[in-house]
Structure 1
Amino acid sequence: MSLKVTWTLVAAAASLFVRDAAQAKSFEDVRCKCICPPYRNITGHIYNRNVSQKDCNCLHVVEPMPVPGHDVEAYCLLCECKYEERSSNTIKVTIIIYLSVVGALLLYMLFLLLVDPLIRKHDPYTQPLHNEEDAEEMRPQVDSGQGRGNTVLERVEGAQQRWKKQVQEQRKTVFDRHKMLS
């Protein structure tokens, strides 16, 4: 089910992408950015304008010109103009892929939250224990010869129990050595 929903989301995003590609002219992927520092009594300012790369200079980008005609050349020498390009289509595709992956992971998490209680088998013979060490000793060992451990969940659970047991043994070893040294 989650795979079907994921593909539906991808198809919807792709249709939006195709529709937006037809309207690509409305997105400005190129610009000239001029950063002009303060000059005499004029504060600094950043100017952006969509012009070609050859027209990326102060005279074509800075409008209205904040200085009178005889100071234009001095003012433009202080301005730093850079031509910038970006690909809005690449940005859109990246965001669509990212959101699709996050959505698929969320759906998978919800699936596991709903199905996990149904998959886990509760043993009515074990009582809840308050001590972690006693819980490790009383837990039945998973034996592959009994037919258990076939599902991924049971294998992960078994690996988790082995890891917890190793950590518990390491703690005991460290505390025993600490007691011996002091």
Structure 2
Amino acid sequence: MSVDKVPSLRALLVVAFTLLCFEGISIVHANKNFEDVRCKCICPPYRNISGNIYNRNVSQKDCNCLHIVDPMPVPGHDVEAYCLLCECKYEERSSNTIKVTIIIYLSVVGSLVLYMLFLLLIDPLIRKHQPYTQQLHNEEDAEDIPPQAEDALDRGSTVLERVEGAQQRWKKQVQEQRKTVFDRHKMLS
């Protein structure tokens, strides 16, 4: 990936985020959907009639058994007794808030995925090939690390250079430990 593509990728991410923000704002200002309010009546079994749940989109003042239960499963003289058993609740939700939350969540996950892909593409360009390689069981290579490389690792200014320096120091310590273990093993044999 060339250096010219990095600013264009950033510009693309900014445009995508701006479009998602405008979409979220337009959803917030939309009118309420008919599914946002409802009256839910739960009626238990009554005599030979099985229990049932009734839902209807009505206003809060009309949230009662007489307005919701249709058709009425009992004859006219039992309606009042049947409605006393029913429990009606007015429920309201904000589908706009749900939509905005989902959009924000998906945009965060999407931006993290794009960032991961960006790092996967840029990682080979950022990493530097070390001028030396250490053999695991070769004592000559494990003994001498060039002093210039060691000084460069200690002076690392970027985070990546510091991490690579720490990795190199750790590898050097592991090599020294292996050498010590192999020397002791040779002495005991």
TM more than 0.5: yes
Contact 2:36 2:93 in 1 (8 A): yes
**1:8-157 equivalence runs, <5 A:** 8-17=15-24, 19-20=26-27, 23-127=30-134, 129=136, 148-157=155-164
The answer to whether 1:6 aligns with 2:13 is yes
Task: Letter of the 1:111 partner, please give it.
Answer: F
TM-score normalised by length of structure 2: 0.66
C-alpha displacement of 1:160: 6.6
Alignment length, in residue pairs? 161
Q: What are the ranges of 5 or more consecutive residues in structure 1 without an aligned counterpart? A: 131-136, 166-182
Report the Cα distance in structure 2 between the residues aligned to 1:98 and 1:69, rounded to whole angstroms: 52
What CA deviation, in whole Å up to 9, does each residue of 1:42-74 have, x standing for no partner?
Answer: 222221111111111111111122222122112
What CA deviation, in whole Å up to 9, does each residue of 1:66-124 have, x standing for no partner?
Answer: 22212211221121111111112211221111111111111110011111111112325
Task: Letter of the 2:41 partner, please give it.
Answer: C
Where 1:48 maps in the other structure, the secondary structure is strand
> Structure 1 stretch 54-63 or stretch 19-28: which is displaced more?
19-28
Q: Considering only aligned residues, what root-mean-square deviation do their CA atoms show, in Å? A: 3.6
CA gap of 1:128–1:163, structure 2 versus 1, over 3 A, is closer
Report the Cα distance in structure 1 between the residues aligned to 2:146 and 2:75, rounded to whole angstroms: 89
CA gap of 1:107–1:77, structure 2 versus 1, over 3 A, is same
TM-score normalised by length of structure 1: 0.68
C-alpha displacement of 1:20: 4.4
CA gap of 1:145–1:13, structure 2 versus 1, over 3 A, is closer
CA gap of 1:118–1:39, structure 2 versus 1, over 3 A, is same
